[in-house]
Structure 1
Amino acid sequence: MKRILKAYDYPTFIAIVLLCLFGLVMVYSSSMIAAVARWDYDIDHFYQNQKKAMLLSFCAMFFMMIFPYKFFQNKKFLMIMMFGITGLLLFTFSYGHTAGNAQSWLKIGGLSIQPGEFSKLALIIYLAAIYGKRQDRINNMDKAVMPPIIFLVTICLLIGIQPDYGTAAIVFLISASIIISSGMTFKGLVKLSTVFLMVACVAIAAFFVTGNISKIFSANKVARFTGFSDPFHAGDSGLQLANSLLAIGNGGLTGVGLGESTQKYGYLPESHTDFIMAIIAEELGFLGVAFVLLTLGFIVLRGLILSAKCDDPFGSLLLIGISSMIGIQVFINVGGVTGLIPITGITLPFVSYGGSSLLLLMTSIGMYQNIIMRMNLKSQKEAEQPISKQDFVSNN
């Protein structure tokens, strides 16, 4: 037990704990006004929900830290997982709960879950297992390319028609990062890209024919893509970004003080979810933003560096997928908050309010820690093996 505990990656664990605790404080600060004035809840409503979600998420992380990650390579499990997540997305499309102009949630009792969030980890596991096992035929179109393409396109389309462009984009980019890192040749990647484009074109054409394309390109969604170019003169479509930029500019170097934001008084919608970084910038300034970004950057870069040291293809691709998921989500969130890219409604990992997102991320980090723990134990075992006489002579 002592050897196992020593084998975990504690710098990453400490970074995660700091981010979660920091996020809990900022969820309370950014939601306290809206909870009372907008929804008529208790002042700490969102804080309490996030605290419960965080406790559950830590339990999930600790479980995944000890559960053998190689179990997820099991073929039957992979099929059940992928058909299960596809079924949940189909069910959400028909019977899901709408919030934020997207039909993305399922109400189960008093709980709300977002199947699109869990599709990220499902695809990471599936693609890592497929390409980890099939290294000897990685460029085979029938066995290594088409099954992932079918699942990837299906899931992206089901998420896109909710419509949730941000999550669909993250799913696609995560998948691309794993495929590019899988060892596939350039020629194989070109073939893969060609097949994907053909399937995507057919799918889009089908939406045009059936008349469902209007749901994907609704006026509200198109406004998000046009409002970011000139938010201060775009009317309602630029309201969120304009107030986000005002909050960032108001914060300066050290901010106006924790709890002292003015933009959270109804000016900046979703201040505790998608735009929590703007509130961090206003209340804690550049220093608060730097802490969050540097900590997140450390987690992503450490995962990518350790993936290069992992000699198990499945574990290595899992680390790449998990690290890419966090990094891509940070870029999309911060890019939307600062006007670098259109607003897509993506939360800031480990910091924003959202139980489904936090549970997914902490489960992923548990798997991340499990891979590193087993990698370190293997290295320790190899280092402790006695040197044979032949090896001693050859090394000297």
Structure 2
Amino acid sequence: MWKKIIKSYDYSLILAVFLLCGFGLIMIYSSSMITAVARYNLPSDYFFKKQLTSILLGSIAFFIMMIFPYRAFLNGKFLRIIFFGSIAVLILLFVFGHVAGGAQSWFLLFGRALQPGEFMKLSVIIYLAAIYEKKQSYIDEFEKGALPPVIFTVLICVLVILQPDIGTALIIAMIACSMIICSGMGLKSILKLLLLASIFLLILSPLIVWKADTIFNSARMSRFTGFLNPFENEQGSGYQLVNSYIAIGSGGLTGLGLGESVQKYGYLPESHTDFIMAIVSEELGIFGVSFVLILIAFIVYKGLYIARKCEDAFGSLIAIGVSSMIAIQTGINLGGLTGLLPITGVTLPFISYGGSSLLLLLISMGLLVNVSMFVNYREKYKKPAATIGISQNK
């Protein structure tokens, strides 16, 4: 039994994940070594070591999620923990949270910053997948089937916006939308949800106005508006984007060489986080960028393939949620550094520096690999897998 299970894991998916993590680790060292010394007066390998620690911790979580049967998450007690625990954690941020960059989005634990908002993405994925599976028989009954799971998503998004963290809230909302569209819900129910969302935004507007000084402060708004014409204010709101263009344009086909970036010498802010792909382009050219994009596209494709092949709605919606999360986050990040979208501070999956983001991604990918194992086992051996007493049909 166990030999069959081991053979059923998708090792190409696992390899793609850790190739990206390894490549990201190399690029974080290259892009952050100057910043660490010149800006923060830290050792040149400071961010490299912190990211390496996150990879090691994330790898443990990845393998735990990979072997733990995903349908165990359908347990009602677990779903209640997700619902009330997620809301409680976000509320506690306003009391005990650490403020950085104008946002109260982090807990400081054992010398490390943990961003709960990142983990809300997975909370929403698991919760929506579980509830919509349970409601499949009456999913088109709006008040009973379609609406209740959305309430959780709305609460999470509002609490994240108030930190304020608009980028994360946007990603959570978009993940939820992709899962709702794929949940089996009819067009009529989806249109009702859109109408309700519009009404909710109108009701929420007084709260947004009340927090306008933090949500829409000048520094944050300049990041949103600077992309429209960055060359009008090259030393102000357009500074980061203009230097991103210079980095991307300097790389050409093969790049300047690993470690040879000029922009990382203080010219391009956040070169190891939001704008790390600009440094990849500058140092490794189109080849380096293509390597990253092909691997990310492969992971997204695998996720959608798993969703299509999975016979239960829970596993299928998890696969859709995880793959859409990676695709959406990648699109927003690349759109920001190329000037196609406003700069939102969204990191590039697996590549950018960020412990919370990487830990979330590895946990999520462990869950996706878990779902794929059940799918592969059923296709190879023509019967559902069962491990630790949790069956695929349960």
Q: TM-score, normalised by structure 1?
A: 0.94
Aligned AA (1:188) = S
Aligned AA (2:276) = I
**Residue 101 of structure 1: CA displacement?**
2.7
d(CA) in 1 for partners of 2:136 and 2:263? 52
236-245 or 276-285: bigger deviation: 236-245
**Residue 232 of structure 1: CA displacement?**
2.0
Instruction: Please list, as runs of the form range in 1=range in 2, the aligned pairs for 1:333-372 lying within 5 A after superposition.
Output: 333-372=333-372
Contact 2:306/2:375, CA 8 A, preserved across alignment: no
d(CA) in 2 for partners of 1:383 and 1:134? 25
Contact 1:96/1:103, CA 8 A, preserved across alignment: yes
Instruction: Please list, as runs of the form range in 1=range in 2, the aligned pairs for 1:8-27 lying within 5 A after superposition.
Output: 8-27=9-28
- SS in structure 1 of the partner of residue 99 of structure 2: strand
Aligned AA (2:204) = A
d(CA) in 2 for partners of 1:126 and 1:259? 43
**Residue 149 of structure 1: CA displacement?**
2.2
**Residue 3 of structure 1: CA displacement?**
1.0
- The residue number in structure 1 matching 2:124 is 123
Contact 2:146/2:185, CA 8 A, preserved across alignment: no
Aligned AA (1:247) = A
257-266 or 141-150: bigger deviation: 141-150
- The residue number in structure 1 matching 2:241 is 241
- SS in structure 1 of the partner of residue 108 of structure 2: strand
1:148-203 Cα deviation digits (max 9, x unpaired): 22211111111112221111110000000000000111001011111222222212
- The residue number in structure 1 matching 2:56 is 55
**Residue 59 of structure 1: CA displacement?**
0.6
d(CA) in 2 for partners of 1:244 and 1:212? 31
Aligned AA (1:298) = F
**Residue 109 of structure 1: CA displacement?**
2.7
Aligned AA (1:220) = A
d(CA) in 1 for partners of 2:208 and 2:352? 33
66-75 or 32-41: bigger deviation: 66-75
Contact 1:232/1:242, CA 8 A, preserved across alignment: yes
Q: 1:206 to 1:163 in 2, by over 3 A?
A: closer
- The residue number in structure 1 matching 2:177 is 176
For this pair of structures, how many residues does the alignment match? Answer: 382
- The residue number in structure 1 matching 2:388 is none
116-125 or 106-115: bigger deviation: 106-115
361-370 or 136-145: bigger deviation: 136-145
**Residue 383 of structure 1: CA displacement?**
6.6
- The residue number in structure 2 matching 1:191 is 192
1:310-343 Cα deviation digits (max 9, x unpaired): 1011000000000000000000000001101000
| 2:101 is the counterpart of 1:88 | no
**Residue 98 of structure 1: CA displacement?**
2.0
- SS in structure 2 of the partner of residue 260 of structure 1: coil
- The residue number in structure 2 matching 1:254 is 254
1:338-364 Cα deviation digits (max 9, x unpaired): 101000001110111111111100001
d(CA) in 1 for partners of 2:156 and 2:186? 25
Aligned AA (1:368) = L
Q: Unpaired runs of 5+ in structure 2?
A: 385-394
**Residue 84 of structure 1: CA displacement?**
1.0
Contact 2:132/2:149, CA 8 A, preserved across alignment: no
Q: Unpaired runs of 5+ in structure 1?
A: 385-396
290-299 or 107-116: bigger deviation: 107-116
d(CA) in 2 for partners of 1:101 and 1:205? 21
- SS in structure 2 of the partner of residue 237 of structure 1: coil
Contact 2:62/2:365, CA 8 A, preserved across alignment: yes
